Amino acid sequence: MKKIYIKTWGCQMNEYDSFIIKNILEKKINCKNTTEYKKADILILNTCSIREKSQEKLFHQLGRWKTLKKKNPKIIIAVGGCVANQEEKKIYKRAPYVDIIFGTQTIHKLPKMIYEKKKNKNVLINTQLKTVKKFNVNTFYKQKNLSAYITIMEGCNKKCTFCIVPNTRGKEISRSHKDIILEIKNMVKNNIKEITLLGQNVNSYFYKNKIYTYTFSKLLYKISEIDEIKRIRFITSHPKDFSNKIIDSYKKIPKLVDFLHLPIQSGSNKILKLMKRGYNVERYKKIIKKILKIRPNMKISSDFIIGFPGETKKDFEKTLKIISEINFDNSFSFIYSKRPNTIASTMLDNVTLQEKKERLYKIQKILLYKKNQWNRRTIGTIQNILVHKKHEKLSKKLIGTTENNRTVYFSGSENKIGKIVKVEITKMKKKYFEGKMVD
């Protein structure tokens, strides 16, 4: 039995892709997963290109694996993910010891490529886009957790000037709603209680055939009908496509959690226009206002790009202002990263690196303060907790999560695992809360 080692970089979609890779290789070519790369017969690197210097990170990792390949030429090294789509043959030119280069949408071809590699000395490359066939093979689940990811669509049709995703993941392709429901039902058989729907822009999910037309909101309703699923999450959303129908679904689907990740990227309309985001600050605030009217306890998180070309101090101050107004829960911020073949990479970048770092430090300090504020406000409240498991060291303690993904320890019996219980939050620790179950 061959042993496979998979190293994953990037977003939840990459994590999900690696999950598919592991499943299909175990099923199709009788492989066994290992967490020790030195013991592996097949080394797989699933890459991400969203940040600058991702290529160099890739070649540094391949350099470490090259030593193993020298000792054992039979080892197969495969590179996949967004950098594979972006760089393709350039990878082999710099690292000729790589055996297989596969794309974000050709992971289902890996078993055949590995089999062919045994007979073929040349590198095998397949980075084809415009297909969702990789999902057709993912029907075999081994899941220890109660939560799982599921990709509902690939690619993006937006043309944000800073983003490389349309180049590496291709145009939007939505999966059949029937395939999605079937996969979730397979998850349920393995005790999954909470799912997170994934896509570069889940709001624009759209599947149509001769009989059915499914939008994202309609898909949410359909998933909510599966009794065993207790919670529904989704990422990532785009404000431009966050329709009233999606907002209204929060009225009728209690399984949708009181937490939403909705990236605004900047608080300046000028910068949003340069980014070609397709909305302004006023539109974003209207969406949040409508959601909070339906769900007053909703927590909102966001992404922020700092130091985008043309960002002045005044633009940055507007970003600070929107953070204060919306009062975000747990957000992420990054210095602008120039990506090849994007419009922003040709713009005049007039913000010094030092200024970018100072702005990033300032915004991260404020975002952390906001997060801690929300944590303090949680003390004394009663939260709906999905119970995941027993505490490994404290036998009478259970571990669960709030709707905005905070970990909570509390006393309770094992029969509560997999259920949603009400817990009063009593203490705040550094990485978790403590609480007590209430009737």
* Predicted TM-score (pTM) of this structure: 0.88
Greatest CA separation found in the chain? 66
Q: In the sheet that 194-198 helps form, which strands lie side by side, from edge to edge?
A: 147-151, 194-198, 231-235
DSSP letter assigned to residue 29? S
Calpha distance 367→372 (Å, rounded): 9
User: How far apart are alpha carbons 296 and 188 in whole angstroms?
Assistant: 30
Instruction: Give the span between the Cα atoms of 185 and 199, in whole angstroms.
Output: 19
Number of neighbours of residue 191 by Cβ within 10 angstroms: 15
Residue 22: Cβ within 10 Å count: 18
What number of residues does the chain have?
Answer: 439
CB-neighbour burial class of residue 57 (10 A; exposed 0-12, middle 13-18, buried 19+): middle
Question: Where is 125: in which H helix or E strand?
Answer: strand 124-126
Residue 235's SS3 state is strand
One-character DSSP codes across 276-336: T-S--HHHHHHHHHHHHHH-TT-EEE-EEEES-TT--HHHHHHHHHHHHHHT-SS-EEEE-
Classified as helix, coil or strand, 108 is: helix
Residue ranges for the chain with pLDDT beneath 70: 130-144
Phi, psi for 8 (deg, rounded to 5): -120, 130
Neighbours of 388 (CB within 10 A): 18
Query: Using N-to-C axis directions, what is the helix angle for 353-378 and 313-326, rounded to 10°?
Result: 10
Q: DSSP states of 360-415 as a string?
A: HHHHHHHHHHHHHHHHHHHTT-EEEEEEEEE-SS-TTEEEEE-TT--EEEEE--GG
Residue 229: both structure tokens together: 């699923």
- Residues 6+ away with beta carbon under 8 Å from 81: 9, 10, 14, 17, 45, 46, 47, 48, 49, 104
Contact 319, 308 (CB under 8 A): no
What's the pLDDT score for residue 164? 87
pLDDT, residue 134, reads 66
Cβ atoms < 10 Å from Cβ of 240 = 16
Tally of CB atoms within 10 A around 93? 11
